[in-house]
Amino acid sequence: MNIRFEYKDNGDLIINKVSVIGSFNNYDVNSGAMKKENDKWVLDINLSSGEHYYKFIINDRLKLNDPTANIYLPHVNDEIYSVIMINENDDRLYNNTEYTVNIEKYNITANVYDQYVPINKKDFDITMDKKVVTRFQFTNVTGIHAVTAIWVTPNGEIFDSSENILFTPKGEENKPIDIWFWIELQNSKRNYPSGKWAIKLFVDGEFVLEDEFVLGKINSYSSYGQARY
C-alpha cells in the first residue's frame, strides 16, 4: 500500500531538513529523507500489511510525531511513536476513538516547586539563575500522548528538546497531571546567547503553545521593575 508521509511546517521553526524514520526503513534518516513541496515535506513509501511505527526527524536532531496520525503507541524504549496499521486486504485501519488533552495551567520560573506557583518569570540572569523551568498542568487527559518541549535561541536555532509521556493513571481521572521541562544555565560546555528565547510546546507533534523569556546578564533594574541588560 502506498503511503504518502507529509510534514507541514508548524511552530515557526527554522527547518532545513525533514526525514521520516520508522520500522519500515530501519530508522534510517537518509533513506527517509523528504522533499519540500510548497509548505510541506513529502515522501511516498510502499508499506506491507502490519504495524508500522514512525516519527519525523527535523534538522537531523528533533523528533516529533505525526500530528495527522490516528494511532500513537509506545515503541522503542517506551517512546511514543505514530503508527500506521494495514490489514491483509491492503486496507489502512483507523482508531475511531477521540482523545482529549487540556492545558489547565502553565508557568515559567527559575526553580522546580512541589506546588503550583502562579509566577511567570520573564527575565533570567545567566550569572545568577541555575535553570529556566516550565511547568505544565494538564486535565481531561484521555489516551496516551507525547508532549515535547523545544527551547529556541534568539537566532531561531533549536537549543534543546525533550519529550515526556502524558496519560492519566487508573483511578486518578479527576487529578491534574504536572509535567516539568527545564534547561540548565550553568553548563560550561554550552553557549547561551543573550536575548529573547522561546519555549515551544508540541502535543503528538502538533504545535500548541509558545512563550518567550529574556536571557542575559542583568546590570540593573528600571523604576518599573524591568531588567536592563
Is residue 167 within 8 Å of residue 207, measured between CB atoms? no
On the question of pLDDT at 226 being above 60, the answer is no
CB atoms within 10 A of CB 105: 13
Cα 101 to the center of its chain, rounded Å = 14
> Domains of the chain: which residue ranges?
2-93, 100-216
Query: Matching CATH topology for 2-93 and 100-216?
Result: yes
On the question of pLDDT at 223 being above 50, the answer is no
C-alpha cell at 216: 542575559
Q: What is the pTM of this model?
A: 0.89
Regarding the domain with residue range 2-93, which homologous superfamily does it belong to in the CATH classification?
A: Immunoglobulins (2.60.40.10)
On the question of pLDDT at 228 being above 80, the answer is no
Phi, psi of 153 (to 5 degrees): -75, 170
Q: Does domain 100-216 have CATH number 3.20.20.70?
A: no
Quick: pLDDT tens for 129-154: 999 999 999 999 999 999 999 999 99
Strands 177-184, 158-166: pairing kind? unpaired
CB atoms within 10 A of CB 14: 12
Q: What is the spatial distance between Cα 204 and Cα 98, in angstroms, rounded to a whole number?
A: 14
For range 18-39, the mean pLDDT:
95
For range 118-125, the mean pLDDT:
87
E strands, 32-189, in order: 35-37, 40-46, 50-58, 62-64, 71-74, 80-86, 92-93, 102-109, 123-125, 131-139, 145-152, 158-166, 177-184
On the question of pLDDT at 91 being above 90, the answer is yes
